[in-house]
Amino acid sequence: MIQRIFSTKGNTMTSFANPNAAAAASTATTRGDTGSRGAPASVRDVTIAFSSYTAVQDVSLDIYPGEFVCLLGPSGCGKSTLLSTLAGFVPVVSGDVTVDGRAPDKVGVERGMVFQSTDVLFEWLSVRENIAFGPRVRKLPTSRQTELVEEYLALVGLKHAADRLPSQLSGGMRQRVQVARVLANEPRIVLMDEPFGALDAQTREVMQYEIERIWRDRGCTVVFVTHDIEEAIRLADRIVVMTAGPAAGIKSVREVHLPRPRQLDDPAAIALRRDLQQEISKEVSKSLRAQGADEEVLA
């Protein structure tokens, strides 16, 4: 078992387990093993700023191969900024970031990014052609391109819609196309920026189960940004709670040892939700006070 190391100023590490601890331990997903197809990532004393505005300050975090990590926090806490740095989109002011042992200083196929908006799909291409785009750009042999497209069409349950255009799909189906297009590049780490935020509640829940199934099947590392506490509990091996910005940091890290698929009415899940809600509420109140909110409103 790899020792889990986490460090940042003022953080806490908590482990949440099912009351039936032995059963939970036997059924919970084990991550960080050497057989995983996923890539590790490391953030060391990282500060990210935009001109005079400091978005993230002095953050350190280790992410292990095949792990599913959720970044959770209120709006404006730097979750997406940190994710964009892992993707290679946003440089750091200080500190070090590595993905699979290398600095993500440019976009690479080993890192796949799934956005909240499905506007990134090519509207003039069919579902099949969207998924084939990455393998084609990589100039893989035609037989391999076809193999990957068919594999991921099946994995996301869209073989029946392979020849439709994105405009002919529902929101959930469009998001599945985006996930399949990213996975067809065979990334070792998948970065997901509130990918289900624009979906209705029922579709969102279905997609949560789908992404968990795909993650378990593929074995890649996933870093998933969300402001939804229940979503984080349902999906994460670890939940990283961020403080309110500016100069956001990491408030706590929660290891979630609940059996999968997760049941949100499990007593341990209910307790975890309560604690996370309290943590985030404090950060929201702190942010509002900094903006001059009336104390009577915050009471």
Q: What is the pLDDT of residue 292?
A: 62
**pLDDT for the residue 107:** 77
The answer to whether 176 and 157 are in contact (CB under 8 A) is: yes
Number of domains comprising the chain: 1
Is 88 part of a structural domain of the chain? Answer: yes
In a domain, 61, yes or no: yes
Q: 202 lies in a domain?
A: no
Domain CATH code at residue 62: 3.40.50.300
In a domain, 96, yes or no: yes
221 assigned to some structural domain: no
Whether pLDDT at 162 is above 90: yes
Would you say residue 4 lies in a domain? Answer: yes
Q: What gap in Å lies between CA 188 and CA 1, rounded to an integer?
A: 21
pTM attached to this predicted model: 0.86
DSSP 187: -
Token look-up 């009471």 returns 299
Contacts 24+ apart (CB under 8 A), 76-79: 76/244, 76/245, 76/248, 76/287, 77/242, 77/243, 77/244, 77/245, 77/248, 77/283, 78/48, 78/242, 78/245, 78/248, 79/225, 79/226, 79/227, 79/242
pLDDT at 13: 54
Residue 82 belongs to some domain of the structure = yes
The answer to whether 257 and 15 have CB atoms below 8 angstroms apart is yes
Q: Specify the range with the lowest mean pLDDT, choosing from 5-14, 82-91, 194-203.
A: 5-14
Contact 253, 240 (CB under 8 A): yes
User: Would you place residue 295 in the very low, low, confident or very high pLDDT band (cuts 50, 70, 90)?
Assistant: low
The answer, yes or no, to whether residue 120 has pLDDT greater than 50, is yes
Q: Is residue 53 part of a domain?
A: yes
- Read off the pLDDT of residues 22-53 as tens digits, 9 standing for 90 and up: 333 333 344 444 346 899 999 999 999 999 99
Tokens (6 digits) for 29: 């997903």
Using CA atoms in the order 149, 154, 160, 163, what is the torsion angle rounded to 10 degrees?
-10
More confident position, 59 or 199: 59
Contact 226, 43 (CB under 8 A): no
The predicted-structure confidence for 98-109, as pLDDT tens digits, reads as follows: 999 999 987 788
Query: Which range of residues forms the domain containing residue 75?
Result: 1-110+227-291
Helix (H, G, I), strand (E, B) or coil at 128: helix
